[in-house]
Amino acid sequence: MKVHLKALGCRLNEAELEQWSIAFQADGHTVTNTAIDADLMVLNTCAVTNDASRKSRNLINRLHRENSTAKLVITGCHASLNPDQVADTHGVDLVVSNDKKSSLPEIINTQLMPDTMPLRATNPDDIALYNRHRQRAFIKVQDGCRYRCAFCIVTHARGNEISRTVDDIINELNFLHTQGVQEAVLTGVHVGGYGSDLDSSLYQLVETILADTEIPRIRFASVEPWDLGDQFFDLFSNPRLMPHMHLPLQSGSNTVLKRMSRRCKTEDFAQLVNQARNAISGFNITSDIIAGFPGETEQEWQQTMEFVEQTGFGHIHIFPYSPRSGTKAANMPEQVELEIKRARCKQLAELAERLKSNVLEQTLGNTTEVLWESPKQSPLKDHQRYHGYTNNFLRAQIDVPDNNDLSSSITPVKITAIDRENSFLKVELQ
């Protein structure tokens, strides 16, 4: 059976696709990158915003149009929040809720493909990575969240916290390393909550990963700032832990943070950023900001702008507040007008670009290492163009002769220039 896997939204969804890919191939199936070739299509949906739910609905319809003869299985947050609506969608054969998605391949084999009788693969080398870029893999370490931020629907869709065992995570990391993966990104709904159900912690997990695996690079997808203890940044003395973290702030105003039910004040966040930068040179902090949360005044918005500028983020994901039915914030008074939200997003985007440019400027002349992705055609004759990421997650570009294969390699480079229009570093090999 040929299986096509597709995801919308977060890196956790991508990590789950990776796990399903391995499971399907272990059962003797083939994973294909194109829907038209598939006997089975699996879509991992997203519902973090109304727009994400709309895109999920559109993609369900598109997949069926592209291949109406294949079985179509829908899972993920949009499917879990709207199971009957999704099940009634033309072309959908099966809906698997988030609480059952860890068994998704087995459920499909039992309910949709009972006569397939796949032969179990015996050689691990026969299993190819789902991700087309073999250098990096997303590792799901946990699911669910015990907190209820006022704006967040994902915790409703994903349910209670469930951590994977350390042994499972270590085994997956070691397997992926044998397949050529150079960088692992630890992901989940509430990564910092890892171990809450296992009498463990994210700190202990990372210690074990560093001790029992050899993947050269370890990163975090996103970690809530209140989950990092006083000693957390001591871990980064190990050079395999990359000097970058995505710490979602959401607002730079304490009064807005309180209405959001966030567990972190701006002064706590600032202290955390200072700890990271004092402990590790060149540490890059990226974040999320929501513009136009209910009741957000112009004064509160200016507090956010000032705090963002003061912090100096390397990159910001900017979201206009989107009411989600079932969340506390959806019923709050003083919903901000759309035009005001758009104006604030634009204002913040301009500041974010300037801050990112400042971070890039500070790297000029430095030496670092880059993990390179697959090449593209270079405008230079007999050359290939590579893009990749530095240790602190800044995008880099280089043109090298055709006979110099950098794919999935980690090489030392010197930063020689900045492409400000596209926000990446130009480098040369050392």
Lowest mean pLDDT among 7-21, 162-176, 331-345: 7-21
User: How far is the C-alpha of 221 from the C-alpha of 210, rounded, in Å?
Assistant: 17
Q: What are the residue ranges of helices labelled H in 280-426?
A: 298-311, 338-361
Q: Are residues 386 and 342 in the same domain?
A: no
The larger pLDDT score, comparing residue 361 to residue 110, is at 361
Q: Which residues pair with 284 in a beta bridge?
A: 244
* DSSP label of 135: T
Q: What is the pLDDT of residues 393-427, one digit of tens each?
A: 999 999 999 999 999 999 999 999 999 889 999 99
Kindly report the CATH number assigned to the domain that includes residue 281.
3.80.30.20
Q: Are residues 343 and 399 in the same domain?
A: no
Q: Are residues 202 and 182 in the same domain?
A: yes
Q: Are residues 331 and 389 in the same domain?
A: no
User: How far is the C-alpha of 275 from the C-alpha of 255, rounded, in Å?
Assistant: 24
φ/ψ (deg, to 5) at 146? -90, -5
- Token pair in block for residue 159: 């349910």
Instruction: Taking the CA atoms of 276, 317, 148 and 158 in sequence, report the sign of the dihedral they define.
Output: negative
- pLDDT over threshold 80, residue 131: no
User: How far is the C-alpha of 16 from the C-alpha of 21, rounded, in Å?
Assistant: 9
Q: Which residues pair with 44 in a beta bridge?
A: 7, 75
Kindly report the CATH number assigned to the domain that includes residue 33.
3.40.50.12160
Q: What are the residue ranges of helices labelled H in 214-314?
A: 254-259, 266-279, 298-311
Q: Are residues 34 and 119 in the same domain?
A: yes
Classify 143 as helix, strand or coil.
strand
Residue 1's pLDDT is 86
Q: What is the pTM of this model?
A: 0.87
Q: Are residues 151 and 265 in the same domain?
A: yes
Which of 272, 281, 185, 195 is CA-nearest to residue 232? Answer: 272
Q: What residues make up the domain containing 422?
A: 367-429
φ/ψ (deg, to 5) at 148? -135, 75
Phi-psi region of 144 (alpha: psi -120 to 50; beta: other; left: phi over 0): left
Q: Which residues pair with 386 in a beta bridge?
A: 398
Among residues 125, 149, 169, the one where a domain terminates is 125
Q: Are residues 307 and 411 in the same domain?
A: no
Q: What is the pLDDT of residues 168-222, one digit of tens each?
A: 999 999 999 998 999 999 999 999 999 999 999 999 999 999 999 999 999 999 9
Q: Are residues 287 and 206 in the same domain?
A: yes
User: How far is the C-alpha of 77 from the C-alpha of 145, rounded, in Å?
Assistant: 13
Residue 27's pLDDT is 85
Q: What is the pLDDT of residues 58-106, one digit of tens each?
A: 999 999 999 999 999 999 999 999 999 999 999 999 999 999 998 999 9
Among residues 305, 330, 361, the one where a domain terminates is 361
Q: Specify the number of domains making up the chain.
A: 3
User: How far is the C-alpha of 351 from the C-alpha of 397, rounded, in Å?
Assistant: 24
Amino acid at 48: V
| Number of C-beta neighbours around residue 264 at 10 A | 18
Amino acid at 223: V
Residue 114's pLDDT is 58
Q: Are residues 397 and 354 in the same domain?
A: no
Q: Are residues 185 and 331 in the same domain?
A: yes
User: How far is the C-alpha of 298 from the C-alpha of 344, rounded, in Å?
Assistant: 10
Per-residue b/e over 137-169, b at no fewer than 16 CB within 10 Å? bbbbbbbbbebebbbbbbbbbbeebbbbebeeb
Q: Are residues 393 and 255 in the same domain?
A: no
Residue 22's pLDDT is 87
Among residues 83, 110, 125, the one where a domain terminates is 125
Radius of gyration of the chain, Cα coordinates, nearest whole angstrom: 22
Q: Are residues 89 and 157 in the same domain?
A: no
Amino acid at 238: N
- pLDDT over threshold 60, residue 45: yes
φ/ψ (deg, to 5) at 364? -55, 130
Classify 316 as helix, strand or coil.
strand
